[in-house]
Structure 1
Amino acid sequence: MLTALIAAVLGVAVFGLAVRIYMGREAENRLAPGETINLAELRSPLSKPGFLACPPGYCQTAEAITSPVFPLPWERLRDYWTEVVSGEKHLEQVVTDSEHRRFVYIQHSPTFRFPDVITVEFVQLKPDRSSIAIYSRSRYGEYDFGKNRKRVVRWLALLAKVAQPAIRCPERLAGSFWIQLTFSRTDP
């Protein structure tokens, strides 16, 4: 009985190590065909476990929450964004598309290094107003335990702390921890 238990535990450990090694390989830090997307062109329903935040009127999906609007040009918002994500563990920027103000990241889970793909687009609304669209999704699996939602909401909260949005975030986010931040309202 004890030998069978030890063998089972050892088998699970070896399997876990094999998954970690496989997911940690360099190929997991490259985008697969179809993973480069334009967030404004996404349509419902979104595939795979994921979470989307977009500025008002930018995305055409019912699942998207509304991201805050900031009283600054998109270049300055990008600088704040870079500051926010610079401390993220296991995050690697894999695409920089300056023409479309799009950046794509891959972030690996700490234990098994499962990759999540995060696409970020900066949206210039007016010369002195910008916002951000973020789509975080799992590459593998059908359920993410809310990880993508938590990531997007946390990143928006951190960005709001440093960049001070001009417009209060919508009621649809009530209950999430980042709605509790104090926002200045300077534009209706």
Structure 2
Amino acid sequence: MADFITFKSLKRPPKPNTCLVAPDNHCLAADPDFAPPVMVMTARGLFSRMSEVIASERRWGNIEADAESYRIKFVATTGLMRFKDDVDIEIIPVDEGKATFAIYSRSRVGYSDLGANRKRVNEIIRRVNTY
């Protein structure tokens, strides 16, 4: 099984090369950049949709997923410089027929990512909403 991060105890580095999206009180040791939307679908349905979106992107690879815990992780390769960024996702059941998620995208190298991780997270959210 993959070594997934634990969002509850996640601590962000002081460098501005990460993006964290999570519902209120999901990350106890880190402040998210913004809260994700609540989707009108089951956690299983959102996990499937998120998995399809990730699998459809040619520069995202090394995908590991666990359908039991609703977790996904993958490596995103940037376009020009071919940097490797790590992305972890956790699907979170909210109410019956509703779910949300947490995403943590971060650069492996460098101080600033020039907003690349935030753009990636926003693109994932946009594609999940329109898939």
Distance 1:89 1:141, change over 3 A: same
Whether the 8 Å contact between 2:37 and 2:100 is mirrored in structure 1 is yes
2:56 is the alignment partner of 1:87: yes
RMSD (Å), alpha carbons: 2.0
Question: What is the letter of the counterpart of residue 89 of structure 1?
Answer: R
Maintained 8 Å contact 2:44/2:70: no
Pick the aligned partner of 2:87 from 109, 118, 127: 118
Offset, 1:90: 1.4
Structure-2 residue corresponding to 1:104: 73
CA distance in 1, matches of 2:72, 2:64: 5
The structure carrying a bigger strand percent of its residues is: 2
Report the counterpart of residue 56 of structure 1 in structure 2: 24
Does structure 2 conserve the Cα–Cα contact (< 8 Å) formed by 1:108 and 1:114? yes
Structure showing the higher helix proportion among its residues? 1
For structure 2, the residue ranges without an aligned partner over 5 or more in a row are none
Instruction: Output the amino acid matched with 1:80.
Output: R
Deviations 1:135-162 (A, max 9, x none): 1000111110100001101211221223
Q: Note the alpha carbon deviations across 1:81-120, whole angstroms, 9 max, x for none.
A: 1232233121114422334221110011123321000001
Q: What percentage of residue pairs aligned between the two structures are identical? A: 27
Look up the equivalent residue of 1:64 and give its one-letter code.
D
How far apart, in 2, do the equivalents of 1:87 and 1:95 lie?
14
Q: Match for residue 20 of structure 1?
A: none
Secondary structure of the residue that 2:105 maps to in structure 1?
A: strand
Distance 2:96 2:35 in 1: 20
Once the two structures are superposed, residues 65-93 of structure 1 have per-residue CA deviations (whole angstroms, 9 ceiling, x without a partner) of 10000121111111221232233121114
Q: Tell me the CA shift for residue 121 of structure 1.
A: 0.5
Residue of structure 1 in register with 2:101 after alignment: 132
Query: Normalized against structure 1, the TM-score is what?
Result: 0.61
Q: For residue 159 of structure 1, what is the aligned residue in structure 2?
A: 128
Unaligned runs of at least 5 residues, structure 1: 1-30, 163-188
Q: Provide the C-alpha distance between the structure 1 equivalents of 2:95 and 2:31, rounded to a whole number of angstroms.
A: 24
Larger Rg belongs to:
1
Q: For the residues of structure 1 that align with 2:39 and 2:61, how far apart are their CA atoms?
A: 25
**Could you tell me which residue of structure 1 aligns to residue 6 of structure 2?**
38
